[in-house]
Chain A
Amino acid sequence: MPQMTDERVRAGMTREEDLSLLNEVSMKTAGVSHLEMCIQCGTCGGSCPVAADMDHTPRMLFAMLRAGMREEVLRSNTPWLCVSCYHCVVRCPQEVHIADVMYTLKGMAIQAKLYTDSTAPHFSQTFVGMVETFGRGYELGLATRHYLRHFPLRLPGMMPMGLGMISKGRMAIVPKKIKHMDQLTKILDRAKELELTS
């Protein structure tokens, strides 16, 4: 099947049901992903600061996308380890938007409930929950809730740091809330509807 470039989509040459996994990911990614252009050179895997902890290098993940290995890809810990340092993105000789593809894969994994370790997805969701409630980040709430849930044993070890932060005034005890929270909620609700229709 031919690669579905934007050009082809615009020309109506590809239908929804023809989408390969690769193209599905490509279309769900912000901007133009150039995912189909990957030449498997390994620049991304070589650049990645956390590659050692990944079960697959980003390059391998792209090969697996091509091979249609949906479940294996969505179960991979690779996207969750991505630290968004963009080293791979600026070095990629084919201008693949690797970091954005990782965001897409995270979203797909959450939707398919295929992630293996829930730490990262829960952290993201907790964070987003705070933002959707207050409009601003709330570090103390986030940190305690997250650590309680995932690293309860480590929490005592982290206490001096947390206390230090609080005592130095670097962690607010109460969250800040924006003035027009209602407006933000309306925007986000509409955005979520749009997300579903796309």
Chain B
Amino acid sequence: MTAKPKFAMYWAASCGGCEIAVLNTHEKILDVDANFDVVFWPVAMDAKYKDVEAMEDGSILLTLFNGGIRNDENEHIAKLLRQKSKILVAFGSCACEGCIPGLANLSPVGDIVHTAFNTLTTDNPNEVYPRTSYDVPEGELHIPTLSRMVRPLEQVVDVDYFMPGCPPESHQIAAVIDLVIKVVKGEAELPPKGSVIGCGDSTVCDECPRARNVKFIKEFKRIQDIAPIDPTLCLLEQGVPCNGPATRSGCNARCPQAGAQCIGCYGPADGVLDYGARLITAFSSVIDANTPEEIDHILDGIPDPTGQVYRFNLAGSLLKANREAWKVVNGK
């Protein structure tokens, strides 16, 4: 029996939901075990970085990398896994475009640390902050150093495929696993490098069953402020800033089907340089007003426009981070 191809999965700056989503494929997970030799998956099995470092370059067939790059440890492992893997997949929204952790890019990293360690919820009267190295009897202890901003995987290493979603839908994961197995067996071919996989070609509206008409909006509102909301009509048409029109399909329009607006976790469609720009243009296109005052009044209905259009995509956008976050930070 020839050795099974090797599989790895890693969890950088992310919430862990992606791992759950993989487990959510139910018995499909057994196919992974049957077809692959799982060599590195910190959340599921014990393994040491040095084991990976010892592997031959390119010896892992498939690595699903989830999470963005937030610190030097993330960066180190990303580079390491790139070196050791044949196929590196940016798995999930964090790895693809920064996702929710990427929203940290709206603030300078110093502020974030300050907020985390010295706010109302953290009693820190002596202003004690963690350090990157501690002297302990056993020697010097290092903890990872935060980088200036969160970066999607692609901004750090070369990525073969992108699999969006927060998390990727389990049926899409199952399909991708199936595909790779078929490729291993020589029954199928891999898509061109750089492809976005495990998703549709269009945007969420394509899968959304709600009825749609030409839209003219006089007011943007939160969904809970509209009563009664029409369960069969396009949410944007009812004034809810739904991110569906600009968000890649593949989730079966889960949120709109459940009565909530799309928040954009599948990221932009193919060829789009900036996801936020697509939403800016989508929302402004449906505004039914011609004077700046009236338009501004309507726009007041979107209280946090930056968060609205870059909820998942900030780190992967053209501007990547707030100007403050770009600032140099003195390393002392």
- A–B direct contact (CB < 8 Å): no
Identify the A interface with B (CB < 8 A): none
